[in-house]
Copies of this chain bind each other. A is one copy, B any other.
Amino acid sequence: MASCLTARGRQTRAKLLEAARTVFETCDFRDCRVRDITKAAGVSYGSFYTYFPSKESVLREVGMAVARELMVGPDAESSVEPELVGMELEEDSPESRARRVYNRVLRANRTYLQSFMRNARLLAAIDQMALYNDELFQIRQDMRRDIGERNRATIAHWQKEGLVDPELDPVYAAAALGSMVYRFAYTRFVFGGDFELEAAARNLSRLWVQALGMTVETELPPTRRAPSAL
């Protein structure tokens, strides 16, 4: 596609795509006019249709790009929900293993919150668009399923190793803990509210590992946050 365009064409297309991304962040897809996108891109109205067959199509393309970024990331470290993947814990004593799990979870959550911060509005927009766009719905569904399955596998693995409460259903646990972080981030970033990333990451991680039945000895640093913030 992009390959059969001239350099100038590729540039214009990129400008439009970038503009669409920005515009979709600021207003609902339904409220975004093609005119808004072309204005933001600084090109003429008609040029939009030189590169995209419809308004829907650019939404789709932006959506897929965001999905890709959140799944594998430009830096391959963010995802739609925090992932525990790659947490090989080959070590000895139970304490140190729990500690390692905590550290891994903390790293995952910290990364996730940072990534979410960058994409919050757009992710929210896509989540919303997914409600009335089948293709985005599918993309979103697949993202969720992928992460869910990976986290479920990790939790089940830890259960076998005796690290995690064996009474918990790993499917529900994976879904619930993923939901916790996603929605926490969503409300903070989309609806605003005072917020300290590091403290949030530590609290979420502590809740996470404790929920699974592990104990954490680390002390959390005191939160410096406006007392009214919820």
Which of A's residues lie within 8 Å of B, judged by CB? 27-28, 30-31, 124-125, 128, 131-132, 137, 140-141, 144-145, 148-149, 152, 165, 167-169, 171-177, 179-184, 186-188, 190-191, 199-200, 203-204, 206-208, 210-213, 218-220, 223, 225, 229-230
Contacts and interface: CB of A to CB of B under 8 A. Distances in A.
B230 A28 contact: no
Question: How many copies of this chain?
Answer: 4
Contacts of A137: 191
Contacts of A229: 171
Given A179-B187, A211-B211, A213-B210, A199 B148 contact: no
A28 B30 CA distance: 11
Contacts of A174: 230
Contact of A211 (B188, B210, B218, B223): B210
Contact of A206 (B145, B167, B182): B167
A194 B20 CA distance: 36
